[in-house]
Amino acid sequence: MKDRNIVELRFRQDGRPGYRFNTAYNKVAGVISTDYKDKLAAFINNLDKNAKLENNETVYVTPLSELPSYKLKNYIQENKFNITTARKLEKLDTIIISDSFIRKNYIDLKRYNYKAQRWVTDGEQFLIFPINLIIKDSKFKKYIPTEKNHWNDITLITRKVKATHYIVKVDEFKKWVAQDPYFKTILDHKDIEIIDGYSIEQSHGSKKVCDALPFLLNLIDNVEKHNIKVVLDDSLQEDINKGLVVDFEVFETLYGMLKSSDMDSWEVAKEIIANSEFESSKPYLIFLYYVFPELRKRTMNKNHMFVRNALYKFYNGPTSGRVQTIDLGDLLSKLGRMCPQYLSQQMPCFVHHLNALAGKTIVKEIVLA
């Protein structure tokens, strides 16, 4: 997909007689094929989760990493490692990636099926072809908007970005052919692709996801070809933050800081959370993440964003809209479904939360059956 500017092309009625083209004004980085997605999941699952950086290595912090660069720099200095950085794959010993970033954005993919009225995980078939097959063919001229403004210019993605290729769902394309059989001629061109998979669109803050797609699509082949070691963000973060563990006592302190109306307290709490040893602190961090919407917000604090994104996969609650809090019944239910292995540690947190809401001690203990 490199060096392509792909945009979704639409062909429909817009309140006027007949049909005409328009675009979604949303850049599509490309399509992850169903086969590659499955292969990628197997690759991530089989990685050594305990792989570490070693002395005298050449390392690349890839676009698939979410580890703040200054944290890595400090880690290298503190351990007095002789580590060099590079980007040319043939020179590398090690690459750094984030398995949670990859799972969230490229493996755990789903789409809304309007016909079935539910979210589904299966892919779709897409047709990708050069825009010239439409704009240079006089037979399609009658469908191209003639208004002289960028909203109707089907060669643009944005005012500054020109499209090079169109993408269309194959099921949608079949409807086009039903309206005009001449569309079939597009299928005869040598430069078209038909891919069964999932489109990756640049929207709602997903620029990093799109920018990293070319690297992702070559990740497995490059690791195997150049015999590169893979180190995970979480493994490095655990080493970097070793020593600061959030236990129940620290949880109580953080809860009070996040419940405060003092924004400085929030920031200090988020910094403590971001710099804690993640694996050991996870049960308490998950509970705080469920209870305090502030922790689910995007910020410029890279430390906070690293932990926020790691906690997201354990979360099953509201992420947008006015109501972002969870009632007590749902809180227990969702925690039980998403992370039942931590419930015994989270029960004291739940007791603390109940008493804080009541403003006095109403519950002393909850025992799991």
Mean pLDDT of the chain: 87
Mean pLDDT of 224-229: 95
Residue range 268-305, pLDDT digits in tens: 888 888 888 888 898 999 999 988 888 888 777 777 77
Question: Whose CA is closest to 349, among 252, 246, 269?
Answer: 252
Q: What is the pLDDT of residue 322?
A: 52
How many angstroms separate the CA atoms of 176 and 171, rounded? Answer: 9
Give yes or no for residue 224 having a pLDDT over 80. yes
User: For residue 175, is pLDDT > 80?
Assistant: yes
Residue 123 has pLDDT above 60, yes or no: yes
Phi, psi at residue 8, to the nearest 5°? -75, 125
On the question of pLDDT at 342 being above 70, the answer is yes
Read off the pLDDT of each residue in 196-208 and give the average, rounded to a whole number: 83
For the cut 90, the answer to whether the pLDDT of residue 163 exceeds it is yes
User: Which residue, 232, 13, 241, is CA-closest to 143?
Assistant: 13
pLDDT in tens, 52-72: 999 999 999 999 998 877 778
- What are the extents of the domains in the chain? 1-240, 241-358
* Residues 113/120, Cβ–Cβ less than 8 Å: yes
**pLDDT of 335 higher than 90:** no
* Average pLDDT, integer, range 199-223: 88
Global pTM?
Answer: 0.71
| Confidence at residue 204, expressed as pLDDT on a 0 to 100 scale | 61
pLDDT of 10-29, one tens digit each? 998 876 678 899 998 778 99
Based on DSSP, count helices (H) and strands (E) in the chain, helices before strands.
Answer: 15, 11
Overall average pLDDT of the 354-365 stretch: 88
Q: Has residue 167 got a pLDDT over 90? A: yes
Q: What's the pLDDT score for residue 31? A: 95
pLDDT digits (tens, 9 = 90+) for 140-149: 999 998 887 7
**166 has a pLDDT exceeding 90:** yes
What pLDDT, on a 0 to 100 scale, did the predictor assign at position 324? 63
Nearest CA among 256, 250, 222 for reference residue 63: 222
Q: Bridge-partner residues for 127, per DSSP?
A: 168, 194
Distance CA 86, CA 184 (A): 47
